[in-house]
Amino acid sequence: EPEVTQTPSHQVTQMGQEVILRCVPISNHLYFYWYRQILGQKVEFLVSFYNNEISEKSEIFDDQFSVERPDGSNFTLKIRSTKLEDSAMYFCASTRRGAETEAFFGQGTRLTVV
Amino acid sequence: AQSVAQPEDQVNVAEGNPLTVKCTYSVSGNPYLFWYVQYPNRGLQFLLKYITGDNLVKGSYGFEAEFNKSQTSFHLKKPSALVSDSALYFCAVRDNNNFNKFYFGSGTKLNVKP
């Protein structure tokens, strides 16, 4: 069964450093998402991406965040200058076209900012 | 505005008893409703969805959910709980007018005791 894969599974970084979280969505999917979850709490929407551009972003997704699909398979989330409050589990997801399709989530990257 | 509410932070049930995890939603268009399960340190796994048609939908692991349009609810149910069902459950909604993102509830922790 196809799946969304994320790397690394755990990333520890110093405050102020840049991090890149990587995702490989399911190959025939068209919509891509990043969500984050702080300490097993609510799943928060960050950004959606379609047709090589951001289709929607939340207020969390400020200028410190960016997304890219550099080579048609990887989907990356970059945090330019990490803050302590960026510590969270980051999930990538993808869906086929259409609102009725379910999202498939990766296993997540646990980001710890120290 | 689109939103999902899960009124219970935690649900406790004895193994073998029926379980219900509650979810209510608010969307401007027709709702597409989803349930996901999250086991410790794992990503979100799709359980089931309601798009249209029969109000009772069946999903993975013996779970089912009932769509009630008048009460704007989509409660998750299982006739006989297993200890292995203990996990975090998230309800999510997608608006058919805007499928840029899923709106997630705050999650309900299900504890099934032997």
| Chain A residues closer than 8 Å to B104 by CB | 35, 42-45
How many CB atoms are located within 10 Å of the residue A38 CB?
Answer: 13
Write down the pLDDT at residue A17.
Answer: 98
Average pLDDT, chain B: 92
Write down the pLDDT at residue A14.
Answer: 97
Write down the pLDDT at residue A49.
Answer: 93
| Chain B residues closer than 8 Å to A103 by CB | 34, 46, 102
* Residue with token string 């989530």: A105
| Chain A residues closer than 8 Å to B23 by CB | none
Span A36-93, pLDDT tens digits: 998 878 899 999 999 899 999 999 999 999 999 988 789 999 999 999 999 999 999 9
Tell me the C-alpha distance between B90 and A43, whole Å: 9
How many CB atoms are located within 10 Å of the residue A17 CB?
Answer: 12
Write down the pLDDT at residue A100.
Answer: 77
Write down the pLDDT at residue B28.
Answer: 81
List the one residue out of B107, B80, B79 whose CA is nearest residue B91: B107
Contact: B106, A42; criterion CB under 8 Å? yes
Span B40-62, pLDDT tens digits: 878 899 999 999 889 999 999 99
Q: What is the DSSP string of A51-112?
A: TTEEEEE-TT--TTEEEE-TTSS-EEEEESS--GGG-EEEEEEEE-SSTTSPPEE---EEEE
Judge whether residue B65 has pLDDT over 90.
yes
**With a CB-CB cutoff of 8 Å, which residues 57-86 of chain B face chain A?**
none
